[in-house]
Structure 1
């Protein structure tokens, strides 16, 4: 007969295995429930500008505005932790002949509601349609998370140009790299599959990547670039800048200007 401590070993190991599995499943449930808190980081609006309102089912979405007469307009979609209004002074100086519209996502910059991929996409379409009524030549600019918003919108509406700053192939790729032990493919609700829309784009498109991007791998941007039809997109890399510091480079606004 084996010693008592030996006979108890299988039960102890089974108990530990059950605890580990239960904790893992609990973490998966937590990721499912709270994932949007890990994607979106709403910021207040720090630069006061005139505001345009886009409403949807009782939700008030605010758009920071620099009005300008004429055919040209620029619609900007920011990153997941960006106060888009902070870009208004530099963009107003760089693009004096454009009306500027910067979307404050739901929960950001005084907008009500909660952000999600589908909700932001609806707001983007509503904003485009409102701007297009006055400005027939619209450039769409999206940075980081916003690149996924801009490319989807460009596949749905008649934009004139598209600029994607620090763009990614899909949010799923980024999440899978950050949470490698979890089944991200099955848990993620907001996927921002930019690759899915790239093949539908037929307007001049510029991708601007950061040479030292610590958030979005260059391989992700490259995969997105390869989904565009030949001759539609151009990829430019600003060396020695990171994901968040790219806008500090003097090359940033120059490339943006060339993209428009």
Structure 2
């Protein structure tokens, strides 16, 4: 056997082995869950909250916490968190919305916190739709805000595309998880291997409510240019908010982020009469000739 053919065979075997490993190990690489015992007691200082459990049709349990504002509720924010830890730690971010008079519901995905069940993209999407339906049974959709953070941004976009919430807020979203992973494994057949492609860009096309995208300009994990690209998918409904100098995990440390949240959820967007603007004014490089 020629030496070059021997090398080629070994390269092919290694390539196939790495592909198989990526397929079976991606759950461990993508998800970083914190599991909690069933009797774990949540505690949040100066926050009014109650714990809920939802039983799914396949026997899983989805655990969540409903945070309540001190004043009369203006609506509810369904907060879909990132890929790490559990709502035990994520709950501290609820104050960013309860302070504005909104209830906040945070849920743990399957395998996170107290939530159980076999995890898959299809199962998570189904679980979140059931959660959304429960919310919709208690209030009208024009009082529901979907907030998706990092991993949760794709699921939030999917929910918004299938329903009619008041607005969709995406925090550090990705174009698709296939695109994100391609940065680290550019030569692998990821379109065939990824079990969680989460094509945010596809789902955004069908969103009918206002879309607000928040992204830090110094995000190293999901580059800021990703949100610039996403903002062009459904441009008439989308507004991009830039946190100058913000990274992937520290936006809550920026005053500008909190000002954005305040403006987004308290504003009442109104249609403007474009006929009275300069939108159709044509600029010419040729000088006007005056008659004498």
Q: Give the TM-score normalised by the residue count of structure 1.
A: 0.89
Gaps of 5+ in 1: 1-9
Contact 1:71 1:134 in 2 (8 A): no
Which stretch has the larger CA shift, 92-101 or 50-59? Answer: 92-101
Shift of 1:152: 0.5
Counterparts of residues 18-37 of structure 1 (less than 5 Å): 18-37=9-28
The answer to whether the aligner puts 1:168 opposite 2:174 as a matched pair is yes
Pick aligned residue for 2:91 from 80, 88, 91: 88
Residue of structure 1 in register with 2:152 after alignment: 146
Change (3 A) 1:237 1:82: farther
Larger fraction in helix: 1
Shift of 1:151: 0.7
Residue of structure 1 in register with 2:46 after alignment: none
Alignment RMSD = 2.0
Residue of structure 2 in register with 1:65 after alignment: 66
Change (3 A) 1:201 1:30: same
Change (3 A) 1:221 1:90: closer
Q: Give the TM-score normalised by the residue count of structure 2.
A: 0.79
In structure 2, how many angstroms separate the alpha carbons of the residues matched to 1:219 and 1:58? 41
Change (3 A) 1:201 1:93: closer
Shift of 1:94: 4.2
In structure 1, how many angstroms separate the alpha carbons of the residues matched to 2:118 and 2:260? 33
In structure 2, how many angstroms separate the alpha carbons of the residues matched to 1:170 and 1:241? 21
Residue of structure 2 in register with 1:199 after alignment: 205
Contact 2:214 2:240 in 1 (8 A): yes
Residue of structure 1 in register with 2:186 after alignment: 180
Residue of structure 1 in register with 2:246 after alignment: 241
SS at match of 2:259: helix
Shift of 1:257: 2.6
In structure 2, how many angstroms separate the alpha carbons of the residues matched to 1:161 and 1:150? 10
Shift of 1:131: 1.1
The answer to whether the aligner puts 1:11 opposite 2:15 as a matched pair is no
Which stretch has the larger CA shift, 26-35 or 138-147? Answer: 26-35
Gaps of 5+ in 2: 44-48, 266-292
Q: When the two structures are aligned, how many residues end up with a matched partner? A: 250
Change (3 A) 1:27 1:67: same
Shift of 1:17: 2.4
Shift of 1:71: 5.2
Contact 1:85 1:102 in 2 (8 A): no
Shift of 1:253: 2.7
Residues 108-167 of structure 1: per-residue CA shift (max 9 Å, x gap):
111112332211111111111111222221101000010001110011122111110001
Shift of 1:84: 3.2
Contact 2:216 2:246 in 1 (8 A): yes
The answer to whether the aligner puts 1:51 opposite 2:51 as a matched pair is yes
In structure 2, how many angstroms separate the alpha carbons of the residues matched to 1:219 and 1:93? 26
Shift of 1:72: 0.5
Contact 2:85 2:113 in 1 (8 A): no
SS at match of 2:82: coil
Residue of structure 2 in register with 1:6 after alignment: none
SS at match of 2:165: coil
If asked which structure has higher relative contact order (CA below 8 Å, sep 6+), I would say 1
